[in-house]
Chains A and B, each alone.
Chain A
């Protein structure tokens, strides 16, 4: 069984030879451990693809999640100068703005006065929204423009062709053997990124009707992007929905502002492509696993255990098992970052014993692997899956 077959079978709740292993790594972890320059990883499709491939190989993962958009190949035309310092680099752009690129964390784009731009809720027109890419080179813009482009693109040709370049490179190089997953942002996440979190959260209390109109528009873009990724033959699409847990919103607000739109994304992609669409929501989601399943999702990623979140794997397995696949739920901080081989082994064995029966389980860190997680701790995972996660033939 190839890693790709193993992952595909697990995602379709079919028989596998062993529990597959696939974690999402933080960008900082790629910066620190891939041997590539952070600038190359962040600013080029080729650099990020190379980092993803190297780290998959290092950790023997069965698949790769491509969680940055492809980059404009002409991005360097907009650079004025690059300044190096002890924390990393600062890229100064010709427009006067700059991007800080830490050596161990996600870069951020700032206006020349050091602020980040966010439009107000009042100035947003729902009909002008289509998709918000939080990791675009020039951060949030409104009306939305890509990178240093001056004009918004028409919705029927919204995504620049280079957006899919990283997927294309990875599919070409390792796509036959390994499972390749792409990512779209939940309309709820896009909305929070667009307005900044507090303003977005207050907007749902101030004018829920307008918020819903915005979410409807952002859903169309997410479906369009997901279908474009599916056309490139990714094996699954992940809906990144980090802000939908109980740490921020109630079950009722989840039902109102998250569920209907993520459901439309799943249906919209699967109307044309027979690939799994699954959901990544961080933190406290133990009280809403049933609602997450109502989106029609094929799998739930993360499932942060206490104390980071509220998901007990036994409970989750009872609710989700045999209906959707589970990808998780090793504590990335208290276990993988801060613990030792003995404790990691004990923790992973315990999770495999719960997750493995009847299949549909992918061993993974709950949220992303932290930048300074010792690589030897992650290398353990595949060995442990082979030791404790195999199925009898």
Chain B
């Protein structure tokens, strides 16, 4: 029965059915399954499928958003039951759209996909100054910083952040993305990686953490 319910939970996430996702999560908790088991064997496998379908252009942003919403609904009741190490998962990433830029849909999708791949994501939102990045990195003991920019006027701020990290001798991996960003730009500002889209961002984050990539 539990196996069946976990499968149903994955399906609810894939379909973006938040009511169903919540109902099954509650049922699984009542049956005595731990929050970690529900997360690892129900929610995350569902989001894995979503990630692959999104990467392969089978589904698009609206479907990803409702799947993430379904997962978030279940996570809201699981999170208080998860230990800090459970939440930390594959690693901790501090992410934000850089100073001067208020565009966030790309960054939000990347954050959702990273969470769904087991990362703990601290989302600093839009218009993020270097001080805010540094504070979050220290407080959360982050492994990676992810920066997003949609504007050619704001992409230069990524360099400011990377230089500040270096000057303060903060040892952290840096990844960047956004419409005007390229691999060449990432190399130019000494970022550790550039991701073209959300699926690539997950792949890159795993590479930066030294996590073996699964063949999909």
Indicate, yes or no, whether A interacts with B: yes
Number of A-B contacts (CB under 8 A): 60
* A248–B60 CB distance below 8 A: yes
* B65–A308 CB distance below 8 A: no
Could you write out 10 A-B pairs with CB less than 8 Å apart?
Answer: A102-B153, A104-B153, A201-B61, A202-B65, A206-B66, A250-B59, A250-B60, A333-B182, A337-B152, A370-B153
Contacts of A307 in B (CB 8 A): 182, 196
3 shortest interchain CB distances as A-B pairs: A370-B152, A201-B62, A333-B180
In the complex the two chains form, what is the Cα distance from A29 to B214 in whole Å?
A: 45
The yes or no answer to B173 lying at the interface (CB within 8 A) is: no
* B63–A198 CB distance below 8 A: no
**Restricting to A150-207, which residues have a CB under 8 Å from any CB of B?**
197-198, 201-202, 204-206
* B179–A246 CB distance below 8 A: no
* B196–A202 CB distance below 8 A: no
In the complex the two chains form, what is the Cα distance from A102 to B108 in whole Å?
A: 24
* A253–B182 CB distance below 8 A: no
* A205–B105 CB distance below 8 A: no
In the complex the two chains form, what is the Cα distance from A204 to B57 in whole Å?
A: 18
The yes or no answer to B16 lying at the interface (CB within 8 A) is: yes
Q: Which residue of B lies closest to A371 (CB)?
A: B153
Q: Mark B115-154, 1 if CB is under 8 A from A, else 0.
A: 0000000000000000000000000000000000001111
* A249–B61 CB distance below 8 A: yes
In the complex the two chains form, what is the Cα distance from A283 to B106 in whole Å?
A: 13
The yes or no answer to A108 lying at the interface (CB within 8 A) is: yes
Contacts of A198 in B (CB 8 A): 65, 105, 108
Pick the residue among B57, B69, B179, B182 that contacts A202 (CB under 8 A): B69
Q: Which residue of A lies closest to B67 (CB)?
A: A205
Contacts of B180 in A (CB 8 A): 308, 333, 370
- Rounded to whole Å, the gap between the CB of A189 and the closest CB of chain B is 14
The yes or no answer to A105 lying at the interface (CB within 8 A) is: yes
The yes or no answer to A340 lying at the interface (CB within 8 A) is: no
In the complex the two chains form, what is the Cα distance from A250 to B65 in whole Å?
A: 14
**Restricting to B38-70, which residues have a CB under 8 Å from any CB of A?**
57, 59-63, 65-66, 69
The yes or no answer to A226 lying at the interface (CB within 8 A) is: no
Known: A105-B151, A307-B182, A334-B182. A201 touches B65 (CB 8 A): yes
* A253–B105 CB distance below 8 A: no
Listed in ascending order, the chain B residues whose CB lies under 8 Å from chain A are 16, 57, 59-63, 65-66, 69, 100, 102, 105, 108, 151-154, 179-180, 182, 196
In the complex the two chains form, what is the Cα distance from A371 to B155 in whole Å?
A: 12
Contacts of B66 in A (CB 8 A): 202, 205-206
In the complex the two chains form, what is the Cα distance from A250 to B16 in whole Å?
A: 17
Contacts of B59 in A (CB 8 A): 250
Contacts of B153 in A (CB 8 A): 28, 102, 104-105, 370-372
In the complex the two chains form, what is the Cα distance from A249 to B16 in whole Å?
A: 16
The yes or no answer to A314 lying at the interface (CB within 8 A) is: no
Q: Mark A247-277, 1 if CB is under 8 A from B, else 0.
A: 1111001000000000000000000000000
In the complex the two chains form, what is the Cα distance from A313 to B6 in whole Å?
A: 48
Contacts of A28 in B (CB 8 A): 153
Contacts of A206 in B (CB 8 A): 66
Contacts of A347 in B (CB 8 A): none
* B16–A108 CB distance below 8 A: no
- Rounded to whole Å, the gap between the CB of B203 and the closest CB of chain A is 17
- Rounded to whole Å, the gap between the CB of B91 and the closest CB of chain A is 25
Pick the residue among B62, B69, B151, B179 that contacts A249 (CB under 8 A): B62
Contacts of A370 in B (CB 8 A): 151-153, 180
In the complex the two chains form, what is the Cα distance from A353 to B69 in whole Å?
A: 48
- Rounded to whole Å, the gap between the CB of A133 and the closest CB of chain B is 18
Q: Which residue of A lies closest to B62 (CB)?
A: A201
In the complex the two chains form, what is the Cα distance from A247 to B16 in whole Å?
A: 19
- Rounded to whole Å, the gap between the CB of A330 and the closest CB of chain B is 14
The yes or no answer to A312 lying at the interface (CB within 8 A) is: no
Q: Which residue of A lies closest to B112 (CB)?
A: A198
* B152–A372 CB distance below 8 A: yes
**Restricting to A99-120, which residues have a CB under 8 Å from any CB of B?**
102, 104-105, 108
Contacts of B65 in A (CB 8 A): 198, 201-202, 205
Known: A198-B108, A205-B16, A372-B153. A87 touches B179 (CB 8 A): no
